Structure 1
């Protein structure tokens, strides 16, 4: 089966949509049952869109006229712009209207968490068309390493061999809880805090001016490697002791999956999304002081550390290559004969 996979996420590096798109392409190619054509106008069995621009809209009409099925992965909702990009409210409002119009054109809509399935249904989209298939992090890039390899990576990355290393990754934005990450670093000067990522959308990134100043002149116990290749992201995760993400809003963070595949204990803000996708296999807190308390406990208490590692392994198993591939195969097979109406 041929799949035309379209995304322009690669024009901006260092964000989750681009990672999710590339990992899905590799997953399908390795399965051996799909021929994936990337960013082409060619007519294939399935059109799978990750980008909501006008060219994608034209492709939908082109495929539908010829009886072909269209899948749209819904990487964003209207509220995901809040705290991510500094945009006028009227722009966000009208973009939201366009976004849901665009989603209505798909034969199948894929959301990366069950919470947003309910949101799409509340906007009037057909429940039969909306499926939950989580993101997938490439297991050939993100995997556990032993203590010897971990020490070697720390030397290679110029990280301390003894001090605990707390890592986060992704875009630097207000929504990602960057302020709390910095505050926790200030409360724990004997720990090293590393944020791998940067300002993928430049000055449009919410909080850019304030955060840019911190990145340019960081506290002594903070590092900002910037936007790096994903192989390097994996190395920072493998060299660290704890993954800490204080986001206020997420869809299904790729960085979290990547950390789980690397066997890192995971500490997150307690938000409504996570119980339905992580099933309790993570540590949670609500404010800077409780984050800081958990950071020290996980790094100092062997039982807490071991539990965090086991939780990460359970998540890695739930969101394994085999499990996610089966879900995509089943979805594509539903549309194989051509356009299907439900």
Structure 2
């Protein structure tokens, strides 16, 4: 169950839900129904709105993936910071109604425990969707990008938490490089500092292009065409876009925050606002470093198996069914 299926799309929670659903449907022992409030043996919830709560209440057993925490709402939605204590109470109440909470990383698990979640917590990685990319030359031809251009890519919502301003500052320091940001503000005026974000986009540096929300197959073209993936977000749990970029073979420049130290230690270039441009430049001018970091991204891809994640989830479901009987 994910309310994103019939409300707002264009964000990582919806992508994670779609990928997880596709993987689960490959498990022969499972009969999977999406977004139904019918009584089920196990309901796996990805969002925390009223329809998800109804499904949670009607399920004989329940699993909730903790995509959302109070911290991830700060600088994401209007009132996220002001009402963080209330969000924390509400999310604790939701997660403690579940038999099992799926956490996306050890650092997130620690945060859930600090917030008072006492349900069983298991750590399961995102499903890595299978996609076949065109060659760099084919992708650039399709997108109208010259072969000699250096392309830096970021994918995410336009909101303060994602550090669009840091993306712009790096572009200002690298005027001979093109920067593309894919993603919009799917929650509209509910986005934190929405009008400021719109002004920020309108005043972006000359070498930055904001493309808005695109179809996923078009996003994959940009992965194939890009040289470096740059994700400056201040707070994350396990962003799907970073995993997709690594799977596409792009070297990663990420903000130095806990979740990446946990998920991808040694597999990305960690940076701050003061060093983003320097790290990107080093990748672009140092072939040895570039080759090393693309190899590290390939190692990330090799660690993620959609089939293994689906089986892990199926085993949890079966364990819960057995327990309830």
Determine if the TM-score, normalized by the shorter chain, exceeds 0.5.
Answer: yes
1:336 CA drift (Å): 2.5
2:141 paired with 1:152: no
2:11 paired with 1:15: yes
2:262 paired with 1:276: yes
1:125 CA drift (Å): 2.8
2:286 paired with 1:294: no
Q: Distance in 2 between matches of 1:150 and 1:57?
A: 44
Structure 1, unpaired ranges of 5+ = 1-5
Q: Distance in 1 between matches of 2:128 and 2:87?
A: 29
Range with greater deviation from structure 2 (327-336 or 188-197): 327-336
8 Å CA contact retained: 2:231, 2:253: yes
Counterpart of 2:40 in structure 1 is: 44
Counterpart of 1:3 in structure 2 is: none
Q: Distance in 1 between matches of 2:118 and 2:189?
A: 37
Q: Which runs of 4+ in 1 moved over 6 A?
A: none
Q: Where in structure 2 are the equivalents of 1:1-342 lying within 5 Å?
A: 6-10=1-5, 11-63=7-59, 68-87=60-79, 89-126=81-118, 129-140=120-131, 143=132, 145=134, 149-216=135-202, 218-288=204-274, 290-337=275-322, 339=324
C-alpha change, 1:279 and 1:33, in structure 2 (3 Å) is farther
- Cα RMSD of the aligned pairs, angstroms, is 1.8
* Cα deviation 1:38-71 (Å, max 9, x = unaligned): 11122222111112123332333322xxxx2111
Q: Distance in 1 between matches of 2:322 and 2:163?
A: 45
1:338 CA drift (Å): 5.3
1:112 CA drift (Å): 1.0
1:231 CA drift (Å): 0.9
1:84 CA drift (Å): 1.1
C-alpha change, 1:211 and 1:124, in structure 2 (3 Å) is closer
Q: Distance in 1 between matches of 2:159 and 2:270?
A: 20
Number of matched residues? Answer: 324
1:29 CA drift (Å): 1.1
Provide the TM-score with structure 2 as the length reference.
Answer: 0.94
Q: Distance in 1 between matches of 2:39 and 2:250?
A: 42
Q: Distance in 2 between matches of 1:181 and 1:49?
A: 33
Structure 2, unpaired ranges of 5+ = none
